[in-house]
Amino acid sequence: MAEIINMPKLGFDMAEGTLIRWIIQEGEQVARGAVLAEIETDKATVEVEAVQEGVMKRHLVTEGTVVPVNAPIAVLGAVDEEINLSVLLGETTAGNIEIGQKPVETNASSVSEVGEISQPATVQTASDLPGSVRASPIARKMAEDIGLDLKQVKGSGPGGRITKKDIENYQPSLPKTAAPAPVSLQGTKPGMPATQPLPYLPSLLLPAPESVTVPLNKLRALIGKRMVDAKQLIPHFYITHEYDVRVLLDLRKEINSLIPDDQKISVNDFMIKAAALGLRQFPNLNASLQGDQIIQHGNVNIGVAVAVEGGLLTIVCKDADRKPLRQIAMEVRTMANRARSGKVRPDDIEGSTFSVSNLGMFSVESFVAIINPPEAAILAVGSANQVPVVEEGAIATGWRMKATISVDHRVSDGAEAARYLQALQSLIEKPLSLLV
């Protein structure tokens, strides 16, 4: 049975994506889970995978095309299966645009008889604006970091699009400059100290610093818009709790001594598991506000903030309350590596119901995080620090870590959030409970 492959929707605010490369060509065999194509969103470059096996019967869009979410991009079918696109696409036809032609401008997205999706006349991406250069977000970020003008780079991607590889392989042609003339010191002889200092040459030694204007990349602009919306629309409140993590750190050290380096468990993995288990008791914090209703989610899917080139991505550890600690560690590490390399998968960044952000690895003792809509709360985890503590009336050395929860006041209140942090205390300070 033929299947239509649609442009996936990666997040509730995604409206379109750019198909940047076909991996599977027409007529090639497709295995379940094989990567069909790469698409680019405002956040990342994402691989589209096949959910069933078959043969790639037809590409419905060409590389470099901007496609609305849920619009068809390809047809997958059996080897000898005849494909009737008019029937398959529900009789949705619009003109005679052929594959490879430039889509005709129109005020509404449509599908041609051969499946090419025409672009809305009102939609322009950053790389289509007059005077701009077509480049991927990662390539733009790399160029910004080294002060490289993208107009000097020849792109090897579809339509001359500049890729990460183009930036890495760029070889500038350096202009020849004359060496400064040597400074002569009068009144000196060989072996004798100078009788006067070197003249001040600011034009040669200290070029005047210049201000630099750096345009926002697509990911940074999207993050900015979402965070502004979140702070303006969501009434945040914050509560901080301090935890004794000495036993947790000892347990982590013992576990990691028994497993390979590529499977080691981080403090953040413990926090993800603890946060997920705690949410079972507090469904209001594992929720979303929709109109005048609070939707308490059945699954506990923990979003984990990951720093990537050009901004931040939230990967999602699904059903974290039901997974063992080692599986959480493995999944988070794998998804984070994909995110940092620009190869994140659609399922990696979809469906979070609560988020954890950790800056402890940067020695940040505590901070507050902005809620990630449509979630109702986020937990900000700081560093574990060795501090003097009072135990049974005597000064001792202990390990303490702070965590701050940000909560949507429309969904919950301070007392409930405080009880949740107390529930985390019993899990964090008795970490064996996270292993059973």
Tokens of 64: 């470099």
409 has catalytic annotation: yes
Write the burial class of residue 84 (CB in 10 Å: 0-12 exposed, 13-18 middle, 19+ buried): exposed
The dihedrals phi and psi of 99, each to the nearest 5 degrees, come to -55, 130
Contact 155, 170 (CB under 8 A): no
Task: Using DSSP bridges, classify how beta strands 354-358 and 377-391 pair: parallel, antiparallel or unpaired.
Answer: parallel
Distance separating alpha carbons of residues 73 and 293, to the nearest angstrom: 35
**Tokens 């033929």 sit on residue:** 2
**Tokens 């991505």 sit on residue:** 313
- Find the catalytic residue in 59, 236, 297, 409: 409
For residue 285, give the nearest of 378, 352, 424, 351 by alpha carbon: 378
Amino acid letter, residue 127: S
Beta bridge partners of 358: 381
Distance separating alpha carbons of residues 416 and 282, to the nearest angstrom: 8
Distance separating alpha carbons of residues 27 and 142, to the nearest angstrom: 36
Crossing angle of helices 246-256 and 267-279, rounded to 10°: 120
Task: Using DSSP bridges, classify how beta strands 302-308 and 354-358 pair: parallel, antiparallel or unpaired.
Answer: parallel
How many Cβ atoms from other residues are within 10 Å of residue 49's Cβ? 18
**Tokens 């442009």 sit on residue:** 7
Q: How many residues does the chain have?
A: 436
Helix (H, G, I), strand (E, B) or coil at 239: strand
- Catalytic residues, by residue number, are 409
